[in-house]
Amino acid sequence: MFDTVMNLVKEWNVTGICLRLALATFVGVIIGLDREYKNKGAGIKTHALVCIGAAMAMIVNEYVFREFPNMNTDITRLGAQVISGIGFLGVGTIMMNGRSEVKGLTTAAGLWACAGVGLAAGIGFAEGTLLAVIFILFIFRVLAPLDKKLHKNSRRIDLYMEFKDSESIRPFMESLRRQKVDLLEFDFRKDKLGLHIPAAAMSLRLPHYGQKRAFKNDLRNTESVVYFEEV
């Protein structure tokens, strides 16, 4: 049964084209469900449209190749343009706030991968399409939580901080040295509420792994720090 369906997808007729577009829509929805569930900028509709659009590009490629066999052109060019052109959607999902916090990179990469999956579906490569979806979902559902866990236990911590006054910064830096915390980066920022109080973005390296929670608890009890958050 499976082999029969795979062969039907590869055929150049109305049934084969319908199956290719249906496959592209299906895998786009499956990938988009994960992003929709996590309330990301690009969800079911965006991923499905990207996937079916990429599939249609490959179908048009094959149509041109079959209907105009003597045309001197590279039939892979349209597919290549899909991969490069998907960048405008990816940029739309990436955001950076005033504290240099970047959001949306995973969603942008997912859209790019979704376009590649759509191209495979459009050319009738159903086996590759389904395998790619399995690996994409593995990355979203298994590797993403692992990445968060590694980040949580990392020695490096990136912070946005607001201080009581400018005189509070030097004692804070001295306390970091006493705790053997390395200052990797430091950059003054405007405070979030426009109260004209000293604010900064900084990257620190803690002396031990798994120390982030204890370090942040110490910051909450630091009188000179009026506000902080990990970015």
| pLDDT tens track for 204-217 | 999 988 888 899 99
pLDDT tens figures, 78-109: 777 777 777 776 676 666 555 455 677 777 88
**Backbone φ and ψ of 137, nearest 5°:** -65, -35
What are the distances in angstroms from CA 228 to CA 95, 160, 187?
Answer: 21, 5, 14
Q: Where are the domains of the chain?
A: 2-151, 156-230
Segment (H or E) for 154: none
What are the distances in angstroms from CA 154 to CA 65, 104, 147, 200?
Answer: 53, 21, 10, 21
Q: Are 154 and 171 in contact (CB under 8 A)?
A: no
Coil, strand or helix at 138: helix
> Per-residue confidence at 146, pLDDT binned at 50, 70, 90?
confident
Is 156-230 assigned to CATH 3.30.70.260?
yes
Percent residues over pLDDT 90 in the chain = 7
Average pLDDT over residues 147-157: 81
